[in-house]
Structure 1
Amino acid sequence: VCLGTDIENLNTEYPTETTVFQLAATTPETRRYWESCQSDGQTYIDPNGVGYYISKASRPDARYEKNFPQVTVGERSTKPTSGDWVSLTLQHGKAPKGASYEYAVLPHTDAAALEAFAKKPTYKILQQDRNAHIVRSPADGLTSYVLFETPQALPDGGLLQKADTSCLVMIREYKDKLLLTVSQPDLALYRGPSDEAFDKDGKRIERSIYSRPWTDNESQEIPVTVTLKGQWKVAETPYCKVLSADKNQTVLRFTCRDAASLEVELKR
């Protein structure tokens, strides 16, 4: 499930777009496939069996294009080059403000399965704003959290009650246990004041990320504390410690590093 929120910029010359797919038709077979491809604007499926579902809200923004051929001029040469391309983008317009999108990608699918999914999507969006993206998959007992900011509040009814910083959390519920996965995607290669460079007029100087002196630093540890509803037992690990547990809640502290996904099993 792919979500975007609060898409904005000040560029009034060119439209802003989200690329769902951009594929080369490099063989006669793939070219014929796309030439005969028909879509209702809601679903698409590529020759590799990857399906794409565009939500009702994002469907008006979808643009499906066949460029047979697409002719461009490269950055290093004025000689035109060409190729056959197919693309699906979501158009947000020029200088968008508060734009968003929602679509889903289904690997290893077929037309019948994709049609069934479109009629009854197997996920539910619990929150989609600048603070968090939270998606629930009831059939799998799975809830996924992308917390962009330290959350002030989380949706009622969920097992995750609190997190003390931005992080990624995934909870898979079973009858008698949970699988909890926590990640802090910040590599923390550098800590301290911003090292951006500015010219005499105060304009930021564009620099390659590889020119920064800290690019070869080791990832630093970032503690992430999460609070779960109810009392749970967990076998502590070097990266997961129980801070407290009672009938109301269980508080765990994860020591995150290298943007790794840290998983623990919890039981009643």
Structure 2
Amino acid sequence: MRFVRYDDSQLGLLTDDDTGIIDLTDRLGLDSEEPLVEYIEGDYDASEYADTDPDHDVDDVELTSPVSRPGKVIAAPLNYENHIEEAISDRDITTEEWFSIKDKGYFLKAPSSVVGPDNGIELPFVDRRTDHEIELAFVMEDDVKDVSAEEAWDHIFGYTILLDISLRGDQDRSNRKSYDTFTVIGPCVTTADEIDDPQDLQMELQLNGERRQYENTGDMVYTCADIVQYASLGGTLETGDVITTGTPEGVSELADGDTIEAEIEQIGSMTVDVTGRDAHYAEANVQKSGQR
């Protein structure tokens, strides 16, 4: 099943042809701003409605993030060999030498940066480079701590597409990746039982109709399960937390008026519009006041 959140926190199932939505909120009696988390935690079964005629056309609703405010958005840095080489050769991407999740750990993105595909991306500064990064992400099914990689798969509810929008510069990574609209999640969460092998999915990102990123998830340095294992060391992963797994090579700069088309096989595709604010980084710098 493929779950979508739309309009005013409604939960639905996306039809097989991606054109319709079967409403679950009324059928299941859901009453939460986070209906997917309510569904995961509750004693619900949406499978009986999977073949129901759709209640809405996708084009007639606003697709929002499947989880609007996850407790945590956990992200793995530099998790594809070809992107590691790309980052090292482009000092706008990183000023550091190669490092892995086991060297420096994961980083966190602010939950307030999360939006859905129909919300779009807003670039905060006109004079700073901001890049797109397509990633496979997943939603946790329950609370786990100190879980092994072998057992981690059993705690993943489903998989989704995530765009990790990244402002370049020397600031802390979590800072640069946590501006409003910088975490685009959608269009749906596909339950784990529908995915043949999460480490063998082809993903593609096109910018204004031109392919920029094209990679198989089998090329990750650390698998989805490895990341869950590492992230759960000493810290509890909770139901509805979103974990994202890194991007391959091909990142490039975004500009006002751009359109991103992102697709991962067996999950779906989404189209996201980019707009720019009339703001300048130099003008936004905080001036020293001489006071502490």
- Provide the TM-score with structure 2 as the length reference: 0.24
Q: Which has the higher contact order (CA 8 A, sep 6+)?
A: 2
Indicate the structure with greater strand content: 1
